Chain A
Amino acid sequence: MIVCFHCGDACITTTIKHQDHCFCCYGCKTVFDILNENDLSYYYELEASPGSTPSKFDGKFDFLKNETIAHKLLEFDELSTKIVSFVIPSIHCSSCIWILENLNKLNSDIKTTHVNFPKKEVRITFSAQKLTLHQLVLLLCKIGYEPYISLNDSNSKTPVINRSLIYKLGVAGFAFGNIMFLSFPEYFEVSEFWLDRYKPIFRWLILIFSIPVAFYSGSDYLISAYKSIRSKLLNIDVPIAIGILVLFFRSTVEIVMDWGSGFLDSMAGLVFFLLVGKFFQEKTYAFLSFERDYKSYFPIAVTRFINDHTSKEKPGVQEEQAQVYDLVAGDRIIVRNNELIPVDGVLKKGKVLIDYSFVTGEAELVSKRPGEHLFAGGRQQSGVIEMDVLKSVEQSYLTQLWSNEVFSKNSKSSFQTLTDQISKRFTISILSIAVLATLYWLVYNPSGAWTVFTAVLIVACPCAIALAAPFTLGNLLRIFGIHKCYIKNSGVIEQLANIDTVVFDKTGTLTTNYKNIITYEGIELTDEERSLLTSTLRATNHPLSRSLYHILQNYNIHTLDNFKEEVGQGIIGVINQNKIKVGSYAFVANDQPELNPTIQNQTSVHISTNDTYKGCYMFFNEYRKGMQKVFESLAKDCQLAVLSGDNEGEKNYLKNTLPSGTDLVFNQKPIDKLNYIKALQAKGKNVLMIGDGLNDAGALAQSDVGLVISENINVFSPACDGILDATQFKNIPAFITLSRKGKKVIIYAFIFSLCYNLIGLGFAVTGHLEPIVAAILMPLSSISIVLFTSLYTYIIGRKFNRKNNK
């Protein structure tokens, strides 16, 4: 097979030979020429076929000609220099970085470009005297790097990056190292003249270093503990905060009173390890966003007609690029092919075929006539239309879903993690041990009571327990990521382990996006009729016609004598007085008996020749491979359900294929799906929702864990907890099992670290906790827990790999 030199796709329909290379289309060839002429062909040496086919963009970015819109996108704009950042989804390899950072070779007005690969972002500084933002975007499009510009970009210019964890980690690490260094002489407990003489200065230095550790690096724990006490929940941060504070104040007293060296080395180590755990847990996928709403999908501007009677130079109707937010009821706008309808309105002019799959999940194209209502969120599929705006963006049917309370509440707060569950008992028992031991010492040896009380609180500080979950979950997060399941944060994995109900969306989730399976039912067509059919289908652009044409194309194609297309109805073709009608049942066979309901519910194309009804082609969605297996293995310990926005056409098929007990619900609107999940949760279920589109957004937000299946993870998906690559669909049960194993690892680590605590408590209650014991025991327990969880998760991950490869 010949592979395109530029984009690496197989050359199926056309192969263009050019300069010893083959290209799959003229788009790819053009990019090659542009790069070659500018001596940028190293692009192809860095990686094999690194490019992407430039898509058609006629007029798509015209809104950038509007100064106010362009200005909103710019990060910096002063006199001649402008800076702009774009997200470019097609960035995927080192060649991409190279070509984008050499943009100035293509246009000398571009000063510098800087690629942030993990974020798929490019920051361009350009001179504005000759080059406009519009031209810059067109240049990027021309070489196949079309930026993604959405309504979201117009609001916030530079997102604030929170780097406080790195700072805190830096401070703690710096202080920890220095404190260890300074307390080294103390560890040997030799009474040597010079050492004794300089002890105070070492100790005071240690004290100074430890102040920022306790109150800056450890501030998260102190604040969190304070909040949790106020809300009467004892989370794991409470004993940690007690530990930090007791360590700090006891040591301060010891140093100030010159009683001893204190435990500041242990404290700095504790805070440092805890922060390392936190840092490790925060694996983020910068190129994915889990917090999207409709704003990321909507265009930033549309073409609006303005009726300017006052202007004398150009009276009458003019076109203007208006921001979507500025649209008001009564405006007339133009929506081009493949553009999203941004507002609710009434169709005025043009042929409409709308793909509402985005909103309803139904893959069917909907056709409308002038005068009918159009809802926001549909994607126009056939040419240019004009429509009158009825409601502004915020009041549209689709966007109203986001005013539902699910989107404003923070679902994470209600979930109690495993660590939180045990921390309450842990805190209470530690406090009672401390009190009991102190009471005992008060009776028998009052002088040691203070030491024992603080020693218990110090040694019981649950550093190892607090580290168990971050390291286990952080490791799992990476394993998930390797297998193309991108999870928002580590808490989601713990929630995934508790799942007992799995709800699937049908279209796009269980099925692929292509209607590939086509069957014919009715009277057999003659060869002549088939050739007539094929010739007729060729003349139209309707997606169903095209996929039907694709399987029929071997038949001879003749030039049609007559061709007519009725929008939303069907097509008529005539060759040699033979007439064929292709389209909906009502169109094709107007005086035929009522169609039987099973066919009626299917996506079908009906055919009649010379006014006799022949039969119909039915289109079926292709279900994902391994769907049955996924359901069977999930059914063992989960309740299952399928929600669909579609009609009941495939109910029987699903009923027979899926395990009995699977709830099948059809005709579900987005809000119905949300309520279905809510009802399950009211029964105490932990629900995993697996969906794909905006129509599932409410359900995804409501569910305990919302996973989105995506054919192409670079395409933006709705707000969710995780994004799963469609190829990994068959692994859903394995992912759930993996997270359950992770939960087990955490429990083992808890038991392990409790043993350490018991040993430490032994030293503490007997009054033998020397600083050196604490300095050894605490890091030792932390490190061994980290090693234990890392090793265990590594083994689990390898097993998972092996199963996957089978």
Chain B
Amino acid sequence: MSIIYLLLAISVIVALLFFVAFIISVKNGQYDDTYTPSVRMLFEDELIKKKPQIATKTNEQTLMTDQLK
């Protein structure tokens, strides 16, 4: 039954590891803002979705509106 010493040691070490991880995450400011990350994770990289042709169209139109002014 002296295995219990080993088991205890392991369980305490595992618990301590998680505890240390928690402390580090608090220290890094992960708990300072609990809202923004929840929104941020839903963004995708949809920036390139709009193809260049639309972009040129935009330029033309702005040119036109500029001339109108």
Q: Which residues of A does B touch, CB under 8 Å?
A: 18-19, 33, 36-37, 39-42, 94, 97-98, 101-102, 105, 115-119, 161, 163, 166-167, 170-171, 174, 177-178, 181, 194, 197-198, 201, 205
Contact = CB atoms under 8 A, between A and B. Distances in A.
Contacts of A39: 47-50, 55
The 6 A-B pairs with the shortest beta carbon distances in the complex, nearest first, are A117-B36, A116-B33, A94-B39, A174-B19, A39-B50, A117-B35
B6 interface: no
Interface in B21-69: 22-23, 26-27, 29, 31-36, 39-40, 42-43, 46-50, 55, 58-59, 61-62, 65
Nearest to A171: B19
Contact of B46 (A36, A42, A171, A181): A42
Contacts of B47: 39-40, 42, 102, 105
A41 B22 CA distance: 39
B15 A174 contact: yes
A205 B33 contact: no
B58 A36 contact: yes
20 contacts: A18-B61, A18-B65, A37-B58, A37-B62, A39-B49, A39-B50, A42-B47, A42-B49, A94-B39, A97-B39, A97-B40, A105-B47, A115-B40, A116-B33, A118-B35, A161-B29, A170-B19, A174-B22, A194-B4, A198-B4
A40 B58 CA distance: 13
A97 B40 CA distance: 8
Given A19-B58, A170-B22, A198-B4, A41 B50 contact: yes
A116 B29 CA distance: 11
B15 A117 contact: no
Given A40-B47, A174-B19, A198-B4, A116 B36 contact: yes
Contacts of A181: 11
Given A39-B55, A170-B22, 9 more contacts: A18-B61, A37-B55, A37-B58, A39-B49, A102-B47, A118-B33, A161-B32, A174-B18, A198-B4
B6 to A, nearest CB: 12
Contacts of A174: 15, 18-19, 22
A170 B26 CA distance: 10
A117 B8 CA distance: 43
A171 B20 CA distance: 10
A178 B58 contact: no
A163 B26 contact: yes
Given A19-B61, A39-B55, A97-B39, A166 B46 contact: no
Contact of A97 (B4, B36, B55): B36
B26 A166 contact: yes
B42 to A, nearest CB: 8
A205 B8 contact: yes
Contacts of B34: 118
Contacts of A105: 47
A94 B12 CA distance: 42
Nearest to A208: B12
Nearest to A30: B62
Interface of B: 1, 4-5, 8, 11-12, 15, 18-19, 22-23, 26-27, 29, 31-36, 39-40, 42-43, 46-50, 55, 58-59, 61-62, 65
Contacts of B43: 98, 101
Contacts of A98: 43
B33 A37 contact: no
A115 B40 CA distance: 9
A118 B61 contact: no
B27 to A, nearest CB: 8
A117 B55 contact: no
A163 B25 CA distance: 12
A167 B50 CA distance: 47
Contacts of A119: 33
Contacts of A198: 1, 4
A40 B34 CA distance: 26
Contacts of B61: 18-19
A118 to B, nearest CB: 5
Contact of A116 (B11, B18, B27, B32): B32
B48 to A, nearest CB: 7
Nearest to B16: A174
A36 B5 CA distance: 66
B34 to A, nearest CB: 8
B8 A201 contact: yes
B20 to A, nearest CB: 10
Contacts of A118: 33-36
Nearest to B34: A118
B62 A33 contact: yes
Nearest to B18: A174
A201 B55 CA distance: 72
A40 B65 CA distance: 20
A166 B58 CA distance: 51
A115 B26 contact: no
Contacts of A177: 15
A453 B40 CA distance: 57
A432 to B, nearest CB: 41
B29 A117 contact: no
A100 to B, nearest CB: 10
A241 to B, nearest CB: 25
Given A98-B43, A170-B26, A178 B32 contact: no
B65 to A, nearest CB: 6
Contacts of B19: 170-171, 174
B33 A163 contact: no
Nearest to B27: A163
Contacts of A167: 23, 26
A101 B26 contact: no
Contacts of A178: 12, 15
B31 A163 contact: yes
A433 to B, nearest CB: 39
Nearest to A26: B69
Contacts of B62: 33, 37
Contacts of B48: 39
Contacts of B11: 181
Nearest to A18: B65
A161 B27 CA distance: 10
